[in-house]
Structure 1
Amino acid sequence: MDSQIRKIHQQLVNKDMTCTQLVQEKLEALKQNTHNTVNALLSDTALALAAKVDAKIANGEPIGLLEGIPFGIKDVYMVQGTYTTASSNLLKNYKSAYTATAIQKLLDAGAIPLVKENCDSFGHGSSSENTIFGAVKNAKNPELVGGGSSGGSAVNVAKDYTVFSIGGDTGGSIRQPAGYNGVYGLKPTYGRVSRYGLMAYASSTDCVGPIAKSIEDVRIVLNVISGKDIKDQTTYTSEAISEDSILNSDGIKTVGYFKNFIENDAIDAEIKTDFLNTIEKIKAKGIEVKALDFFDSNTLVSTYYTLAMAETASNLSRLDGTNYGNRIEAENLKETYAVTRSENFSEETKRRIVGGNQVLSQGFSDEIYLKGLNLRDEIAANFEHDFNEVDVVISPVTPNTPPKIGDSLKDPLAMYLSDAYTVGFSLGQLPTITIPQGTATGLQITAAKHNDELVLKFANFLKDTI
């Protein structure tokens, strides 16, 4: 199988290049890049780690598969001693006191962190424009958005600035930018990877996942970062996914798709045509394809944003300049809190906090928030029924192609609706991968909970089918 990780590993072992040379080359490319993907370079750390890998190789010692492999980190993950800004003004000078579990596992495996990557502030956005570091520019066309909120991570992988990157997905924040930039992006089953050390946006749907240029690299990274963590009680023990296991897709007999996603006035005509062509190619391989009923896009988006805004309002209440962030003094303590948050949060973050406080407030929580929770349960039940009928579900990643930079900022509602095809799978806490095939912004493959191996199997099958 294609794998940049394996290729680079072999080059290092064969001494075709040194790890220091590799890291210097990547750092230089990141330094010169004009796509606004970099919040901070980790040059000193990266070069020091590369020198250790070179020393091991020179001494004839074996190195692990990920040892010496350069990667990027979305700037919402704690990495001890580095600036962790969440692309926000409030935390622009904040240094991490500890390292996130997923990142620590990669460091323990010998992977080399190169860069903290640009993203929508606190993950609030679908375009990576809501950032103090400037809008991330699409890898294919710099006039278009890079997608969000993990836009910097997806663009860095697409441009070969990093071998892989660790993004964060709450309602599509790995899958959508992966689709916009033509790479693979996986949202694992909720709880497969620890969220400890990830700045919380919406705790019930936040997921840690890899972005890479091949299915094999996604699999390799997923195996390393997965597992139970006593610091995150939502995690569970999971078995490693073997390379051989995803080469055989014979067990996949039935594929479903949501017909209301396709029979929708909002979908781009070309994306619809390409998706229907993909279905015909799958049928030609002898696989049964079923059209399924699902909730309409507006219900999915409104349910997701109701719950996500409520959770982010709660999660960000701690950021008032007292213990964290850029404090702005005012006449009294109450005013200090108000000014600090008003001046330092982006317009989109403030919009989500205000919306969250509204749906949680007395008189509205029963009418809006509890209704959202009930709808989430109905969505989960719908998925459970669907996966009794089909093995996997495929869908477009987005209804439309990437907008021009600036357009989403003028129309927040359009930005929210761009998540219409990703948020449902987040609410269901299901494993979902974006593949760079099938439509202009890729395809999503989704399976039932804990069936991450199945989505990788079918992704590998489609790689050679469409």
Structure 2
Amino acid sequence: MESQIKKIHQQLVSKQITCTALVQEKLDLLKQNTYNSVNSLLDSTALDLAAKVDAKIANNEKIGLLEGIPFGIKDVYMVQGTYTTASSDLLKKYKSPYTATAIQKLLDAGAIPLVKENCDSFGHGSSSENTVFGAVKNAVNPELVAGGSSGGSAVNVAKEYTAFSIGGDTGGSIRQPAGYNNIYGLKPTYGKISRYGLMAYASSTDCVGPLAKSIEDIRIVLNVMSGKDVKDQTSYNSKEINENDILKNNVKTVGYFKNFIESEAIDASVKADFLASIEKIKAAGIEVKELDFFKSDILVSTYYTLAMAETASNLSRLDGTNYGDRIEGENLKDTYSITRSKNFSEESKRRIVGGNQVLSQGFSDEIYLKGLELRDHISANFNKDFSEVDVILSPVTPSAPPKIGDSLKDPHAMYLSDAYTVGFSLGQLPTLTVPQGTVTGLQITAAKNNDELVLKFANFLKETI
């Protein structure tokens, strides 16, 4: 199967290239890039690690598949000794005291981190414009947004500045930018990869996941990062997905939500392209079923009610006392107020205020608890659907990427751009964006713990549509 990781590995092993030259080339591209995808470069660390890989190869020692492969990290992951800013003013001087479990597993496998990547501040956004480092520009058309919140990660992969990148997905933050930049992006089953060391946005839907240019590279990276971690009690053991396991398609039935396609919000071109893809799938002998689901505005409302509540709770610790850039006021309360008012972005403040509102006395029963109840209904609906179909196919977004600046003018429109991604997050399901089928790709979703089937069907679609 097509794989940048395997291609680079072979070039290193056969001594066609040196790891040092490869890493330096990628670092130069990242330094020169005009897409605002870089928050900080890990150049000295990367070159030191590359020299060690070259020394092993020179001594005819065997190297692992990921050894010497350059990758990027969304700037919400702890990497010991590096700036971890979450693209915010509040943490612009913060250095990680430890390394996230998922990143440490990649380092242990020999992969080389090059860059901490630009993103929406604290993951709050769907365009990677809510960042103190400047809006990330789309890799296909720099006048458009890159998608969010893992926009920098998606752009670096699309431009081949990195072989792969690690993003974070709460309500679509890997899948949507992957679609906007025509690459693959996976939100695995919740808990398949440890969240330890990922800055929490909404803890009940936060997922660690890879972005890459091929299904095989997604599989390789997923296998390395997956597994139980004692530091994250939501994580679990899972079996490795072998390359041969995803070569033969065994999907017999595909479902899609007709209310997604009949929605007034969907662009005519996205609808037409999606239905054309469905016809090609039918022509390949696969049964396709229309499914009923919650209206997209209910999904968005439920997701943002719960996500804002969780982020208000998670970010309450950032007050300039233990974490963050402290701004002194006349008293302690004033210091907290000024520090948070000056250092959080407008979008982050909007979500914190919204979260505190739905958790407040008099509102929590009416709004927050209703959101929890709706999430249970959504999960039950998915269980019913997966008793009828093997996978669910959907557009990634209802429309093409907007121009830079448009989302900032209309936050409500930005929230609605997540209409087709947030439901699968609430269900904690494995979902993969593939760069086919519509202008922003297609999403493949399977039942919990069935990540292998998602990759399998993606491989089938690659040859079918």
Q: Please give the TM-score of this superposition, normalised by the length of structure 2.
A: 1.00
Deviation at 1:40, TM superposition (A): 0.1
Q: Which residue in 1 is equivalent to 2:162?
A: 162
- Structure 1: which amino acid aligns with 2:227? G
Q: Which residue in 2 is equivalent to 1:329?
A: 328
Deviation at 1:79, TM superposition (A): 0.1
Q: Secondary structure at the match of 1:48?
A: helix
Are residues 1:352 and 2:360 paired? Answer: no
Q: Which residue in 2 is equivalent to 1:88?
A: 88
| 1:303-338 per-position Cα deviation (integer Å, ceiling 9, x unaligned) | 000000000000000000000110000000000000
Deviation at 1:192, TM superposition (A): 0.1
Q: Which residue in 2 is equivalent to 1:208?
A: 208
Which runs of structure 2 are paired with 1:172-211 in the superposition (5 Å)? Answer: 172-211=172-211
Which runs of structure 2 are paired with 1:170-319 in the superposition (5 Å)? Answer: 170-249=170-249, 251-319=250-318
Which runs of structure 2 are paired with 1:22-101 in the superposition (5 Å)? Answer: 22-101=22-101
| 1:3-35 per-position Cα deviation (integer Å, ceiling 9, x unaligned) | 000000000000000000000000000000000
Percent of residue pairs identical: 83
Q: Which residue in 2 is equivalent to 1:433?
A: 432
| 1:217-267 per-position Cα deviation (integer Å, ceiling 9, x unaligned) | 000000000000000000000000000000011x21000000000001110
Q: Distance in 2 between matches of 1:364 and 1:324?
A: 30
Are residues 1:339 and 2:338 paired? Answer: yes
Q: Which residue in 1 is equivalent to 2:131?
A: 131
- Structure 2: which amino acid aligns with 1:87? S
Deviation at 1:366, TM superposition (A): 0.2
Structure 1, gaps ≥5 residues long: none
- Structure 1: which amino acid aligns with 2:127? S
| 1:163-199 per-position Cα deviation (integer Å, ceiling 9, x unaligned) | 0000000000000000000000000000000000000
- Structure 1: which amino acid aligns with 2:34? T
- Structure 2: which amino acid aligns with 1:375? L
Q: Secondary structure at the match of 1:230?
A: coil
Q: Which residue in 2 is equivalent to 1:387?
A: 386
Q: Distance in 1 between matches of 2:463 and 2:46?
A: 36
Deviation at 1:200, TM superposition (A): 0.0
- Structure 2: which amino acid aligns with 1:383? F
Point out 4+ residue stretches in structure 1 off by more than 2 angstroms: none
Q: Distance in 1 between matches of 2:22 and 2:150?
A: 24
Q: Secondary structure at the match of 1:388?
A: coil
- Structure 2: which amino acid aligns with 1:48? D
Q: Distance in 1 between matches of 2:263 and 2:169?
A: 25
Q: Secondary structure at the match of 1:289?
A: strand
Q: Which residue in 2 is equivalent to 1:13?
A: 13
Deviation at 1:82, TM superposition (A): 0.1
- Structure 2: which amino acid aligns with 1:27? L
Q: Distance in 2 between matches of 1:116 and 1:140?
A: 21
Q: Distance in 2 between matches of 1:33 and 1:269?
A: 34
Q: Distance in 2 between matches of 1:252 and 1:315?
A: 39
Are residues 1:447 and 2:446 paired? Answer: yes
Number of aligned residue pairs: give it. 465
Deviation at 1:374, TM superposition (A): 0.2
* Higher mean displacement: 194-203 or 263-272: 263-272
- Structure 2: which amino acid aligns with 1:166? I
Q: Distance in 2 between matches of 1:253 and 1:160?
A: 35
Deviation at 1:60, TM superposition (A): 0.4
Q: Secondary structure at the match of 2:256?
A: strand
Q: Distance in 2 between matches of 1:93 and 1:380?
A: 40
Q: Secondary structure at the match of 1:15?
A: coil
Q: Secondary structure at the match of 2:452?
A: helix
Structure 2, gaps ≥5 residues long: none
